Structure 1
C-alpha cells in the first residue's frame, strides 16, 4: 500500500506563508530605502540592510522551496530583488487570506447546514431548502480550493524565478566568467604543452642520447681493437645497442603520439598500450563509435601516463582500464592494485589534471594508503 508523503508540500506551503509575512516588512523597507538612497552617507547602511533581508530570503528559499542560489550577488541587485519579491510575497499573502476566509465561510455554512439554518443566514421562515444546496456548495468549495492551490504553485514558481534572475549571474557576468575560464584553460594548455616538451627532452636526453653515446664508444673501441675477434665482439655489442636505441626511439615516438590513434582510434591505441605494458593490463572498452580526435588524444595520454605511474611507483600486479560513454561525456577509469598513496599534485598526475582541465573535463584521483588507486577522467565528447 502506497502512502503519500506530504512533508514537501507542507514545507513549501510554510515557506510561502513565511514569505507572505516577510513581504510586509520588505515593502516598508523598500520604501524607506528608496528615500534613504537620496542621502549619500546612508547608502552603505541601506545596501547592508538590503543584503541582510536578501540573505534571510535566500535561507527561506533553500530550506522550504529547495532553491539554491549563489551568494556573490551585488547589494544593488538585492534591493531590486526585495522590491520585486515584496509584490510576489504580497500576492501569496493575499491567497492565504482568501484561503482563511474560505475556510471560515465553509465552517459557518457547514454549521448552518447541520443545524438546519438557511445557508447564508436570513429569515428561516418561509424558506425551503433545496436538495442541491449542499452538493453545489461542495463543488464551489472544491473549485475555489483548486484555484487557491494553483495560485500557491504559481507564487512558488515566481519566487524561484525571481531568485534565479536577481541572485544568479547576469549575462555580462556569465560572459566574464567564461572569458576567465577560457583564459585559465589556455594557460593550462600552454603548461601541459611545456610539460610534454620537458618530458620528451628528458626521454631523449636520458634514454636515446645515452644509448647513442654508448654506441659511439663501442664503435670507437672496435676500430682500435687489436684482434679481429675482439672487434667482432664489440661490433656485436654495437649492433645490439643499435637495436635498443631504435626501440627507445620508437617508445619516445609512441609517447609523443601513437600512430594507432589515427589508424584504429582510441580502442586500438589502448590495446597497443596494454600489449606494451610490463604489467598485465585489462581493458574494458564500451564505446560503440569513435569520438572526436582531440578527446581520443587526451583520453589516451591519461591512460598512458596513469599506467606508467602505476608501473613505476605503485608496485601493482595488475591494472584495469575501463572506457565508457554517458550522454556527452566519455569516462575513463584506470585502477591498479598497488600500494596507493598517489597524489593528484604529483608531477605526472598534475600534468594530466591540466590536460583534462584544458579540455573542459574533470579529473580525480582516489589513492588511499594500501591501495587501490583509481584515476578517473571525464571528458566532453558531444
Structure 2
C-alpha cells in the first residue's frame, strides 16, 4: 500500500517534472551558444531542480523506504528531474492497471446488481482475468518502486571517486576554517583580556600605589576599599572570559546544564526545550553549546529580543539545535559571530542555517552529525 501511494505521488510529480523539463529546454534553446546567457538561465533552473529533487528524496524516504544523502550538485538534480518523468508516468500506468485489475477481479460481486447476467461463465472468466491482471500489476508496483530507487541512486548519488574528491575538498576547506576559527578565538580572548581584565588590573595597581604613598589613614582606607572592589570586578571579568572560552559546567554536568546556565545568565527570558535521550559526544556538545551561546548573545545585544526559545533534539543520527527570538531580525549571516559559528559547525560536517527577515523573527538552526 505504501509503494502504491508513493507511485501515485510520483505520478503527480512526474507531470510537474515533465512540464519543468520542457520549459527548461525551451528556455535554454535560445542561449545554448551564449555562455553568459546560459549561466543566467541555469541559475533559476538549478534552484527549481534542486527543490524538486529534494521533494523526490523525501517521497522516496517516506513511501518507498529509499534513503539518499542530500543533493550536493545542481547538475545531478537537473539531470534526475529530466530523466525521472517517464518512470513516473510508467508508475501511473501501473497504478491504473491495478485499479482495472481490481475492478475486474471483483466483478462477480457486483455484476449481478448492474446488469442481467445471462452468461455466468463470462463473469467468472472476467474475474479470473482481472485477478491475473491484478497480480501482474502488483508485481509491477514493486518493480517500478525498485526502479525508482535505482534511478535516484544512479543519478543523485555521486560515484565513489567523485564522493572521495568532494570529501577531500570539504575536509581541506573545513581544516582551513578550523585554523581561522582558532586564530579568531585567540584574537577575541586577547581583546577581552586587554579591554577588560588588564584595564581592571592596571586600575587596581594604581589604587594600591596611591594607598601605599598616602599619609592620610582615612584616604588610604578609602583607596584600599576601592582597590578591593576593583579586584572583585577584575575577578568577575576573568570568570566571564574563562566561561566564554570553555564552560566547566559542560564537562561536569553535561550539555543540558550548560544551556540552562546560559538561559539563567541572559538578561531576557530564555526557554530551553531539551529532547536528547542521552548526552552527545564531547565535540558535538561543545559546538551545540557555542551555537546557543552566540545566538542568544546576538539576540540580546543586536536584535532587541524580549523572548528567546532554544530547542535541542535528535533525529536519524543528527543533533538539531534551534535558537529563535522575537527581535527585529535582519541578522547578517556573514558577520564575524555567525560566520565563526558556521565554521565550527562545518568542521563537524554539520550545517548552519540562519533565517532572519527584516522585522523578525530570527531563527538559527544547526544540524550536527552524532555517532
TM-score category of the 2 structures, normalised to the smaller one? 0.5 to 0.7
- Aligned position for 1:138: 126
> Is residue 207 of structure 1 aligned with residue 191 of structure 2?
no
Q: In structure 2, which of residues 171, 186, 198 is the aligned counterpart of residue 197 of structure 1?
A: 186
Say which of 275, 279, 289 aligns to 1:286. 275
Per the alignment, residue 374 of structure 1 pairs with 363
**Distance across 2 between alignment mates of 1:215 and 1:352:** 35
**1:314 counterpart SS class:** coil
- Offset from partner CA, 1:97-145 (integer Å, 9 cap, x none): xx9xxxxxxxxxxxxxxxxxxxxxxxxxxxxxxx886367436633653
1:275 paired to 2:264:
yes
Query: Which of 266, 279, 284 matches 1:295?
Result: 284
User: Is the CA contact 1:203–1:252 (under 8 Å) kept in the aligned structure 2?
Assistant: yes
1:335 and 1:372 in contact (8 A); partners too: yes
1:8: which partner in 2?
8
CA distance in 2, matches of 1:10, 1:242: 69
Structure 1: unaligned runs, 5 residues or longer: 19-58, 83-87, 100-130
1:118-157 matched pairs, under 5 angstroms: 134=122, 137-138=125-126, 141-142=129-130, 145-146=133-134, 149=137, 152-153=140-141, 154=143, 157=146
State which of 270, 290, 294 in structure 2 corresponds to 1:305. 294
* 1:364 equivalenced with 2:364 (yes/no): no
State the Cα deviation string for residues 277-303 of structure 1 (Å, max 9, x = none).
233322222323211111111111111
Give the structure 1 partner of residue 252 of structure 2.
Answer: 263
Query: Using a 3 Å threshold, how does the CA distance of structure 1 residues 280 and 179 change in structure 2: closer, same or farther?
Result: same
**TM, length-normalised to structure 1:** 0.63
Superimposed CA distance per residue, residues 324-371 of structure 1 (whole angstroms, 9 cap, x where no aligned partner): 233422222222232222111111111111111212222122222233
Q: How far does residue 315 in structure 1 lie from its aligned partner after superposition?
A: 2.3
**Which of residues 315, 326, 329 in structure 2 aligns to 1:340?**
329
TM-score of the superposition, structure 2-length normalised?
A: 0.65
Distance 2:201 2:127 in 1: 96
C-alpha distance in structure 2 between counterparts of 1:360 and 1:10, whole Å:
31
Q: How many residue pairs were aligned? A: 289
Q: Deviations over 1:166-188 (max 9, x none)?
A: 67422211221222222222222
Instruction: Tell me if the contact between 2:276 and 2:312 (Cα under 8 Å) persists in the aligned partners.
Output: yes
Structure 1 vs Structure 2 CA RMSD = 4.1
Give the SS at the match of 1:360: coil
Bigger Cα Rg: 1
Match runs of 1:31-42 below 5 Å:
none
